[in-house]
């Protein structure tokens, strides 16, 4: 074994050490709240995540791991360590639905999940060429790019006609009941992956036409209060260009801070009424990350539910798994008589407290989402797989693989939101963007072959 391989093995070994400690602390955790225990878990997470960042920063100062780790911290540790001792009924935590006795053990489970992820993340360093930084070229002609832009505009106009902007505005303002129609749902199924596809094409081609169209659409969506697609797009652009133009770590984190503050202000603007109606607390520093912190409640609710009932054996993840095919979720729900709320963990957490049909959603948590569907073994397997597929796709994309490039940046686009959502959050976008990418490349190759044969 050469020196480089030894050092890489050592990196993985350090994270195996963190995993063993995390497993010991999980099985030894008390079934009651302990702030001291939660602080120890938090410090263990900080040490593990900091080590992972130091090992990886020369390879990529800003990428999936940084975004995922920040989001994971916000949804897993702020409430049990800093908020619960002084404000146990903070925001959405005012709703009942879980026992405070599970807080410590659920936090320990989150620690295990991140430790497994870090092992999978560093394990792949063993087989990939870390030094390569080639950028794959998208084989799409200017004419094809113009068609992509035209299709983006057409789908956006259809969304506006179908009442999509009103839907987003009603959803995030809390005023009135947010309803959707079949046209909007069908159009948005393709619109979101098409915008992300256009974003990746834009990164690998010269010119700014696509950038202008995407930027305009993002501004309009932000004006309605929705941040999901805008943040996905901004994550791709920020991470891609920070790598391409070798931005310093200081500039990267200043940019991240500015984006975070901007999006937090949008969050307060869109949901100010909701905060005042749920909690009488004055605005605090925690409120800038409130949309993430409240997801901690769902981890506790799910952990408590599984302990008292059972796992769902994958049913609570069906909605995201079936999402790539329009209306397949509804068909499966009807065919097998599965209530729609049973097919999404975020719908289940809301149903347990609010009942069926309530427009207020309580959300979910990535660890809870997996734990509810597949139990403790599922958490171990899927978080290891996540770390492994992230580094594998990233390194292969640096070596020129177009499919790996798409996989990595689509996973990256959902790195922030998957922590407060489903593990399978990016599956629909991934499948459709890969399809768009391969079809366009195939058409380009066919056209080139035809012209060369003349």
Q: How confident is the model at residue 404 (pLDDT cuts 50, 70, 90)?
A: very high
| Per-residue confidence band for 80, with pLDDT thresholds at 50, 70 and 90 | very high
Q: Which candidate, 192, 127, 140, 193, places its Cα nearest to that of 393?
A: 127
Q: Is the pLDDT of residue 127 over 60?
A: no
Percent of the chain with pLDDT over 70: 82
Q: According to the model, what pLDDT value does residue 349 have?
A: 83
Mean pLDDT of the chain: 83
Q: What is the mean pLDDT of residues 39-48?
A: 97
Q: Tens digit of pLDDT for each residue in 328-359?
A: 888 999 899 998 888 988 888 888 777 666 65
Alpha carbon distance 432, 268 (integer Å): 33
Write down the pLDDT at residue 139.
Answer: 62
Q: Which residue has the tokens 């992820």?
A: 117
Q: What pLDDT does 450 receive?
A: 44
Which range has the worst mean pLDDT, 85-89, 172-176, 203-207, 398-402?
172-176
Q: What pLDDT is recorded for position 174?
A: 53
Could you give the dihedral angle defined by the CA atoms of residues 360, 261, 75 and 63, in that order, rounded to the nearest 10 degrees? Answer: 120
Predicted confidence at residue 356, as pLDDT, reads 67
Output the pLDDT for position 350.
Answer: 80
> Looking at residue 50, what is its pLDDT?
95
Name the DSSP class of 358. Answer: -
Rounded Cα–Cα distance for residues 110 and 80 (Å):
12
Which residues does 50 contact at the CB level (< 8 Å), separation at least 6?
Answer: none
The crossing angle, in degrees rounded to 10, of helices 295-308 and 103-123 is 100
The Cα–Cα gap between 268 and 283 comes to 10
- Say if residue 16's pLDDT is above 90: yes
User: Mean pLDDT throughout 245-263?
Assistant: 73
| Percentage of residues in the chain having pLDDT higher than 90 | 43
CB-CB neighbours of 259 under 10 Å: 14
Q: Residue 131's pLDDT is what? A: 44
What's residue 217's pLDDT?
A: 93
pTM of the model: 0.88
Q: How confident is the model at residue 126 (pLDDT cuts 50, 70, 90)?
A: very low
What average pLDDT does this structure show over 442-448?
Answer: 59
């Amino acid at each position: 074994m050469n020196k480089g391989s030894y050092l890489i093995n050592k990196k993985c070994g350090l994270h195996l050490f963190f995993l063993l400690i995390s497993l010991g602390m999980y099985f030894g955790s008390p079934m009651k709240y302990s702030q001291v225990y939660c602080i120890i878990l938090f410090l263990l997470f900080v040490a593990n995540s900091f080590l992972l960042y130091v090992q990886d920063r020369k390879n990529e100062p800003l990428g999936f791991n940084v975004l995922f780790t920040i989001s994971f911290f916000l949804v897993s540790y702020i409430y049990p360590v800093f908020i619960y001792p002084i404000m146990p009924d903070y925001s959405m935590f005012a709703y009942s639905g879980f026992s405070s006795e599970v807080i410590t053990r659920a936090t320990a489970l989150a620690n295990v999940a991140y430790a497994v992820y870090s092992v999978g993340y560093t394990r792949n360093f063993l087989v990939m060429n870390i030094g390569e930084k080639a950028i794959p070229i998208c084989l799409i002609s200017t004419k094809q790019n113009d068609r992509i832009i035209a299709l983006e505009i057409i789908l956006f106009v259809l969304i506006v006609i179908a009442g999509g902007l009103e839907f987003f505005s009603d959803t995030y303002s809390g005023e009135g009941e947010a309803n959707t129609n079949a046209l909007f749902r069908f159009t948005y199924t393709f619109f979101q992956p098409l915008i992300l596809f256009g974003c990746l094409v834009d990164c690998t081609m010269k010119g700014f036409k696509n950038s202008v169209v995407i930027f305009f659409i993002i501004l309009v969506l932000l004006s309605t209060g929705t941040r999901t697609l805008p943040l996905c797009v901004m994550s791709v652009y920020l991470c891609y260009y920070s790598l391409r133009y070798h931005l310093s770590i200081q500039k990267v984190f200043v940019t991240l801070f500015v984006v975070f503050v901007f999006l937090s202000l949008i969050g307060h603007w869109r949901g100010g009424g909701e905060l005042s109606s749920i909690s009488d607390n004055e605005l605090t520093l925690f409120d800038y990350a409130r949309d993430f912190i409240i997801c901690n409640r769902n981890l506790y609710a799910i952990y408590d539910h599984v302990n008292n009932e059972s796992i769902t054996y994958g049913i609570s993840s069906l909605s995201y798994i079936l999402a790539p095919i329009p209306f397949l979720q509804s068909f499966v729900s009807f065919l097998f008589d599965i209530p729609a709320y049973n097919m999404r963990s975020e719908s289940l957490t809301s149903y347990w407290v609010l009942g069926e049909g309530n427009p207020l959603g309580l959300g979910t948590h990535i660890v809870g989402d997996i734990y509810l569907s597949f139990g403790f073994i599922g958490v171990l397997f899927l978080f290891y797989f996540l770390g492994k597929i992230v580094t594998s796709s990233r390194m292969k994309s640096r070596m020129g693989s177009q499919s790996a490039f798409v996989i990595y940046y689509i996973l990256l686009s959902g790195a922030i939101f998957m922590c407060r959502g489903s593990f399978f959050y990016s599956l629909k976008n991934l499948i459709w963007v890969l399809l768009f990418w391969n079809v366009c490349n195939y058409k380009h190759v066919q056209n080139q072959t035809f012209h060369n044969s003349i």
